[in-house]
Amino acid sequence: MRIVEQPDIFLREPTTNVKFPLSQEDQALIDQMIETMYHNNGIGLAANQVGYARRMFVMDTTTNKTDPMVFINPVIKKKAHEKLTEEEGCLSCPKKLVDVKRPVYVGLEYYCRHGEEQYKTFYYLSSRVIQHEMDHLEGKLITDLS
């Protein structure tokens, strides 16, 4: 899959919720997103980065890259007061690194690819990636945050 890069206006377009149950095409799209994330050495990828203006993203923050997670219709329900600043890159903003200050944990409500509602608290790197991908779904890029 081709990654949509800045300044493509598509990255700024609104995204819409995914409907359940997922079709076979939706499942295939998720698999392709995971593959594309690994292929580009990313740790997160939002659907609108590969041309689908839908509210989902994939993430794998493990060292072995063996635990891809899928987040559909995600909503941040809780955020830490404590924030940390770290450098972030983005597959849609090649060669750019930006210091971004973000809450150290978030509580996220989302659906898995089987349509089950989930709630989980994510910390540090996972929290950061989730907030980065949520920004994508809102049409926001790290270059807006510097």
Which residues are catalytically annotated? 133
Burial code of 48-67, b = ≥16 C-beta within 10 A, e = fewer? bbbebebbbbbbbbeeeeee
> At 74, phi and psi to the nearest 5?
-75, 145
Instruction: Kindly state the smallest distance separating residue 92's Cβ from Zn ion, in Å.
Output: 5
Instruction: Kindly state the smallest distance separating residue 93's Cβ from Zn ion, in Å.
Output: 7
Query: Any residues with CB less than 8 A from the CB of 11 and at least 6 apart, and which?
Result: 4, 48, 49, 92, 136, 139, 141
Q: Which is nearer to Zn ion, 18 or 130 (CB)?
A: 130
Q: Does residue 21 have a cis bond before it (omega within 30 degrees)?
A: yes
Residue nearest to Zn ion (CB): 90
Q: Does 58 bind Zn ion (CB under 5 A)?
A: no
The footprint of Zn ion on residues 67-126 (CB under 5 A) is 90
Instruction: Kindly state the smallest distance separating residue 125's Cβ from Zn ion, in Å.
Output: 14
Q: Which is nearer to Zn ion, 104 or 145 (CB)?
A: 145
Binding-site ranges for Zn ion (CB under 5 A): 90
